[in-house]
Amino acid sequence: MSKHIFWIASYPKSGNTLIRAILSSLFFTIDGTFNLKLLENIRQFETTYNIYKVKDFIGKDLYKLNDISIFYKYLLKIQQKENLDFKEDFKFFKTHSGNFKINDNAFTMEENIRGAIYVIRDPRDICVSWTNHTGGSYDQSVDFMTNQLQSLLWVKGKNNLFEEHNMPISFLSSWDKHVISWTSNNWKFPLLIIKFEDLVYRKKETVKVIVNFFIDKFGFRFHDLDQKIANILKTTGFNYLKEEEIKDGFAEAQEGRRFFKEGTKNQWKNKLNKDQILKIEEKFKMVMNKFGYK
């Protein structure tokens, strides 16, 4: 049991990148000052480079990984420490995958997990943000979020082995199922659930919650913590991030679209129509109520 993975998990457009910015400033800088290049310290797990080292083990199934029932047979092999190409005690990985089993094959297992942070956001605002990200329509985004069979393609990494038609996929399911998959089990690893809205509107308090999580659960100690937190707050605000993206670009943005756009709550009130709001609220009522999204 190496417990070498620390998951930063979320449904897409829920604030995963903001959490990564905070964590990379906390763990990979001296003074807490953030820049976009620091995000390379917390990469996405669903990158085809992570398959390259196990391609011989996968063998004849390599170009069938677009079939999720086949792909899930190999995920735990991919997650073995020797196949994830790092030497540290543990490493942070971003994921948008739901924590599901497919044909009794799990996305991950507790024996691999040092801990996890799950970021949750009002699904009505996710709908707006996902539409901005993809350039689609709000109706398309509602359909995307409510589809229990929804998936996304893995990201092309170096040594990419795949074409579009056989690209491996990560399984999301619908927004509510995704949230439940990460937050509703009695996990044996430390799990911190963070609301996107708290990251934006109660940021100082929430950053301290994150810091205390690592101190209390893992015994981490951080030097010059007050100064570090002050710099994290200053350099991970949305206006600062937007300026950084304009200046240096951001690899995770869709071509021709800004990644850091609004970063506010209740955008849906002026963007979605009554039918779109009703579809989201009726579908996700139980989970929305549980997390205070009225």
Question: Is 70 exceeded by the pLDDT of residue 219?
Answer: yes
Q: Within 13 Å of residue 256, how many CA atoms lie on the same side as its CB?
A: 2
- pLDDT band for position 258 (50/70/90)? low
pLDDT digits (tens, 9 = 90+) for 180-207: 999 997 888 999 999 999 999 999 999 9
Question: Is 90 exceeded by the pLDDT of residue 256?
Answer: no
> Rounded mean pLDDT of 31-46?
93
> Rounded mean pLDDT of 130-149?
96
Question: Is 80 exceeded by the pLDDT of residue 243?
Answer: no
Question: Is 80 exceeded by the pLDDT of residue 239?
Answer: no
Q: What pLDDT does residue 253 have?
A: 46
Quick one: which H or E segment has residue 32? none
Question: Is 70 exceeded by the pLDDT of residue 174?
Answer: yes
Q: For residues 106 and 141, what is the distance between their CA atoms, to the nearest angstrom?
A: 27
The alpha carbon dihedral of 258, 262, 266, 272 has a sign of negative
- pLDDT band for position 27 (50/70/90)? very high
What is the average pLDDT value for the chain, to the nearest integer? 92
Q: Which residues contact 130 (CB under 8 A, 6 or more apart)?
A: 12, 13, 136, 141, 144, 145
Quick one: which H or E segment has residue 73? none
Q: For residues 199 and 22, what is the distance between their CA atoms, to the nearest angstrom?
A: 10
Quick one: which H or E segment has residue 101? strand 101-102
Q: What pLDDT does residue 64 have?
A: 95
- pLDDT band for position 159 (50/70/90)? confident
Domain 5-122+148-237 falls under CATH 2.60.40:
no
Question: Is 60 exceeded by the pLDDT of residue 83?
Answer: yes
Q: What pLDDT does residue 50 have?
A: 95
Q: What pLDDT does residue 190 have?
A: 96
> Rounded mean pLDDT of 172-176?
98
Structure-block tokens of residue 178: 């995704």
Question: Is 70 exceeded by the pLDDT of residue 44?
Answer: yes
Q: What percent of the chain has pLDDT over 70?
A: 91
| pTM, rounded to two decimals | 0.92
Question: Is 70 exceeded by the pLDDT of residue 257?
Answer: no
DSSP string, 181-217: HHHSS--SS-EEEEEHHHHHHSHHHHHHHHHHHHHHH
What is the separation, in whole angstroms, between the first and last Cα of the chain? 41
- Contact assessment for residue 48 and residue 168, using Cβ atoms and an 8 Å cutoff: yes
